[in-house]
Structure 1
Amino acid sequence: MTARSLIRLAPPFAWLAVAVAAYVLIVKLNFPGHMSVDTVISLAEGRSGVRIVFGPPIFSAILAFFDRIAAGSAAYLAVVPLLLVGAWAAMSGLRAKVSWAGPLVLLALISAPQVIIYQAILWKDVLFADFAIAGFVALAWAAKRWDAVRVRLALLALAFLLLAMATLLRQNGALTVVMCAMVLAWTERRGGWRKALAWGAAGFVIPLALASVLNAATPVKDPPGVNRDVGLRLLQGYDLAAALAADPGRPLRVLEAANPKAAADLRAEAPKYYSPTRVDALLGSKTLGKALVSFKTKTIGRQWFQTISEDPLGYAGRRLEIFRWVFLTPDIDQCLPVHLGVGGPPDLMVKLGLKERQDLNDARLWNYTTWWLDTPGYSHLTYAVVAALVAGFLLVRRDPADVAMAGLMLSALAFAASFYAISLACDYRYLYFLDLAAITGLAYVALDPRLRPGARSGLSRRNA
C-alpha cells in the first residue's frame, strides 16, 4: 500500500475511531444509565405486560427485554447507543472522499450533553431519535447503491424496519415515514412518474404496515375497558383550560349542557392553574381534575372543536405561546433540561427492586450540563437553523445519499413543528430528535464539505 493510499484512508479510520470513542464515553461516563419516573413506569409495564399510562407499549417491551438480560438499565445502555454510533460509523462510506474535517467536527460534537449524556437516559424520545437517524442512514445507503437491486432491497428493508420502530415510539414520528416516501420518489424520478409514485407509496405504506404488525405483536397491552383516547382527551382538556385562562367568560355550551356543575368548576379553576409550560400544572387542583374526567371523551372533543371554530385566532395564539416554551425554552430550568440518576414512584421502585440514585458521578454530569445551559449549544433554535442550513446545502449538492440525509433534516424540522399542535409540556427531551438530527447532519457535511465533488457515481450523474 502506497503512502498516498494510507493518507487517503487515514480520515475514515479517524472517523471510525471517534465514533467508537463516543460509544465508550457514553457508557463509561453514565453507567449503568439514568431512569426517570416515565422510565420506571414503562419498565413496570414491560414486566407486567399491562399498560399503566398512555406511553408507547413498544418502549415498555424493549425495556423489559433488556431487563431480562440484566435487571435495570445496564444492558439497555450497553446496546442501544450502538444504533446511533453504528449509523454515524456507516456515514463515512457514503462519501467517495472523506475530509479530515469530518472526524474533527464529530469529535467536537460528541462533547454536547445531547450526545454523551442524553444517550444514556432511558427515554422513548432518545430511542425514537436513534431509530429515525439509523433509518435515514440506511435509506441513504440504499440511494447510493440503487443500481445494485439486491443490496438496495436489503437496505430498504432495514430502513423500513427502523422507521417503523421510530413510528411506534412517537406518534408524530410518522412524519419520518412521509419524508422517507418523498426521498424514494425523488430517487426514482428519472424512471418516470409512475415508478417514482410507486416507490414513494412503498416508502410510505410498508413502514406503516410493519409498525402495525409490530404493534399487534407487542406483548404489553391495555387492560380491558381502558380508554385509549386519554392522550387526545388530555390535549383537548389542556386547550380548553388555556381558552378559559384567557377568557373565563368564554361559552362552554356543550359542557354546560352535559354537566353544568363540572363546567362551572372548570371555568372557575382553569384560570388559577393553567400554565403554558406544562399540563401538569392543572393537577394542582383536584376540583379541576374531577371536572375534566366527569365528561365523556366525545363531549370534551365536541367542546374543543366548538371553541376552536368560534375563536381560531385565539387558539392559534395560545398554541403559539405553548410552542414558544417547548421550542425556545425561555426558562430552561422549568423545562427539565436533563435527567440524571434513578428515580420513580416509590411503590414501583420497591416492586421492581430498584434503588433511588443521585450519586457523585450524577452530580458531576449535572455540573457539566450546566456549562451548556442558556448557551446556543443547548437551544432547539440553534439546531433548527443548523438542520435547515444542512438541508439546503445537501439539496443543492444533490448526490443520492445527500437527498436522504436532507430528508432526515426536514423530517426533524417537521417533527419539531408538529409540537405546535400537540405540545403538553416544555420538557427539553421532546424536541431531542431535532438536536440529534442536526448534529448528525453537520457531521455528515463535514465528512465531505465540497459543494461540487469532482467524482460522482453513474447514479449521481443520472439523478443530477
Structure 2
Amino acid sequence: MDEKSVEICRKFVPGFFAIIAVVLAAIHCPGQMSVDSISALYEGATHSAVGWGPTFFSAFLAWLGGNVVGTSLFIVINCCVTYGCFVALLNRRAGQRVPGWQTLIALILALNPLFMFYVGIVWKDVMLTTAAMCASTTLFFAADRSGSSRYINLGAAALAISCMPLIRQQGILLALPFATLTAYLIIRKSGYRLLAQIVVFALSISAIFGATLVLEGASARTVRPAPSSPVSVGFLTIRAYDIAGMVKYAPPGDMSNWANASEDVRERIRKMYSPERIDTFWHDPDVRAYFNSLSAKESLSIWMSGLRHSPISYIKHRIKAFSSLLGLGDINGCVPAYWGVAGLPDELAALSLQEQMDARARVIGRTSLELHDTPIFRNWFYALILLVATGLAYFRLDNEQRKVGCVIALSAWLYLFSFVPTTIACDFRYLYPVAGLVTILCMAIFLHVPVWGRIVKAGAPKAPER
C-alpha cells in the first residue's frame, strides 16, 4: 500500500466499520443467549441472585431495560464500542506517515472474525472485554494529548476500569494496573510538586475504586446478591476440580485414600474426569454428593492432603487443564461460541422466552464451525501474539505510549496466568479479554511512528525541484 492508498483507506474506514457494526447488531439482536445469559436476565427480572457469581452483569442488563430490550442494547453497545475503538486507532495517526504495510496489518487485526461473532453473545466475559478495550484505547489517546482532551480520555478510561472488578472476579487483575497507569497519567503533566503529585495520585486511585463501590451498591440494590460469598464458592469449586484431578493422575497403585471418599466414588472420578471441564464428573450423583458433603474447612484440608501426598499429580492436572483452555487439543467441547437461546425452563417461562435456534442462528453457527480448525478460536494463538507484542511494546513504542503498551501487556499476562490455578473448563470465552487487549495493543504498535522515525523524516533533505 502506498501513502495515497493509506489516506484513502483512512478516509473510508469510519463508514466501513460503521456499516460492519450496524450489520452485526442487526444480525445478532436480540443476542445469542446461553444458560448463563438467561440466568442473568432472570436475576434482573426477579431482583435476586440465583447463582453465586457477581450480580453486576445482571444489574447492567436490567438497567438497559431487561429481557430482549436489555440484551439488544447490550449487543449495540458491544458493536459500537468494539468497532469504535478500531476506527479511533486506525485514524489516530492521520497526520503522520505510517507505512502502508503497517496500516494493512492493523486493518486485518480489526477484521478478525472473532469479534464479529463475540459482539453478539450475551456473556459477562464479552462485557469485560469491551470495557478493557475501551480503557486501553482511551489510555493510548490520553498519552498522546494534553489539556482537556487528555483528561476526558482519562475520565472515560477510569469509568471503564471501575466496572472491571464487578463483572468477573479476575477483572481486578486488569483494573489494578490500569487504575495505577491512569493515576500516573493524571499527574504526569500536572506540574505539581512531588507531595502534591503523591496526594493526587492516591486520590485518583481512590476515586476509581470509589466509583467501583458506588456501582457495586447500585448493583446490589437492583439484584440482591446470594448470601454466600462468590469468592468462597468459587474456591470450593476449584478445589473440587483439583481433588478430582489429583485422584485421576495419582501414581499407579496409589488408592488416593487421602480424599476420604469411598472406593466407588474414587473409581467414578477416575473414569469420568476430563482435563477439558469439571462438568464430566460433576453430573454424577454420587460424585456430586461427595463434594457437596464437604464443608469449606474439610475441602481445604483434603485439598492440602492431596497436594502434600502427590504434588506431581496436581501439577499434571493443572498443566493438562490449562493446555485445554489454550486450545491445544480438540475444542468442540470447549464452547468456542454460542448461538441461539437456551436456559432453564422455569427461567425461560418467567421471561416469556423459549429455547430455540432459528435459521439465522444456525447460519452463524455453521459459519463458526468452519473456523474451529483455524487459530481464530484458539487461545494459544492470542497468547503467542501477546508474547511478540510485549517485546514490540517496549522496543517500538516511546514515551508515555510505551508505558501504556507495557501496562496493557502486563494486565493481559496477569489475566492469562490467573487461569493456570483456577480454570475449571476449557471454554474459549474465559480468555476472550486477552484476545481483545492484544488486538488493541498490536494495532497501536503498528500504527505508531516512533520519535526517531519522525525525526528522520522531518530532517530528510527535500528532493530538488525541477
Fold-level match, TM-score > 0.5?
Answer: yes
Query: Identity of paired residues, percent?
Result: 24
> For the residues of structure 1 that align with 2:430 and 2:229, how far apart are their CA atoms?
26
Aligned match of 1:172? 170
- 1:106 to partner: Cα distance: 5.1
What is the letter of the counterpart of residue 256 of structure 2? R
Aligned pair count? 443
1:180-329 equivalences under 5 Å are 180-181=178-179, 183=181, 205-218=206-219, 219-224=222-227, 229-247=232-250, 249-252=255-258, 256=260, 266-329=265-328
Q: Unmatched 5+ residue regions in structure 1?
A: 257-261, 457-464
Structure 1 residues 130, 202: closer, same or farther in 2, change over 3 A? farther
- What aligned pairs does 1:41-440 form with structure 2 within 5 A after superposition? 41-68=39-66, 71=69, 73-92=71-90, 94-95=92-93, 96-97=95-96, 99=98, 100=100, 104-105=104-105, 107-145=107-145, 147-148=146-147, 150-181=148-179, 183=181, 205-218=206-219, 219-224=222-227, 229-247=232-250, 249-252=255-258, 256=260, 266-396=265-395, 397-440=397-440
Q: Cα deviations across residues 274-298 of structure 1 (Å, max 9, x unaligned)?
A: 2111111122310111111112112
More deviation, 332-341/85-94: 85-94
Summarize deviations over 1:80-138 as a string: whole Å, max 9, x none: 32222232233246435264557644553454331111110001111100101101222
Give the deviation of 1:350 after TM superposition.
Answer: 1.2
**Residue 243 of structure 1: how far off its partner (Å):** 0.9
Q: Distance in 2 between the 1:377 and 1:197 partners? A: 44
The Cα of 1:393 is off from its aligned counterpart by: 1.7
Maintained 8 Å contact 2:173/2:414:
yes
Closer, same or farther in 2 for the Cα pair 1:450/1:141, shift >3 Å? closer
Cα distance change, pair 133–6 in 1 and its aligned pair in 2 (3 A): same
Name the SS of the counterpart of 1:332 in structure 2. coil
Give yes or no for contact 1:30–1:120 (8 Å, CA) kept in 2.
yes
Letter in 1 for 2:403: V
Q: State the distance in 2 between where 1:193 and 1:328 align.
A: 48
**Partner amino acid, structure 1, of 2:454:** G
Contact 1:181 1:200 in 2 (8 A): no
Q: Contact (CA 8 Å) 2:106, 2:447: kept in 1 or not?
A: no
Letter in 2 for 1:328: G
Distance in 1 between the 2:349 and 2:118 partners? 26
SS of residue in 1 equivalent to 2:119: helix
- Matching residue of 2:459: none
Name stretches of at least 5 consecutive residues in structure 2 with no aligned partner. 457-466
For residue 418 of structure 2, give the secondary structure of its aligned residue in structure 1.
helix
Quote the offset at 1:425 in angstroms. Answer: 0.1
How far apart, in 1, do the equivalents of 2:196 and 2:5 lie? 42
Change (3 A) 1:98 1:126: farther
Residue range with higher mean Cα deviation, 353-362 or 45-54: 353-362
Question: What TM-score comes out, normalization by structure 2 length?
Answer: 0.84
CA contact (8 A) 1:36 1:342 kept: yes
Deviates more, 1:342-351 or 1:356-365: 356-365
Q: Deviation digits for residues 316-349 of structure 1, max 9, x if unmatched?
A: 2221111000013410111111111111112211
Amino acid at match of 2:375: P
Contact 1:329–1:428 (CA<8 Å) still a contact in 2? no
Distance 1:232 1:69, change over 3 A: closer
Report if the CA contact (8 A) 2:348-2:354 is conserved.
yes
Shift, 1:239, TM fit = 0.5
- Structure-2 change in CA distance of 1:106 and 1:269 (3 Å): same
Change (3 A) 1:165 1:175: same
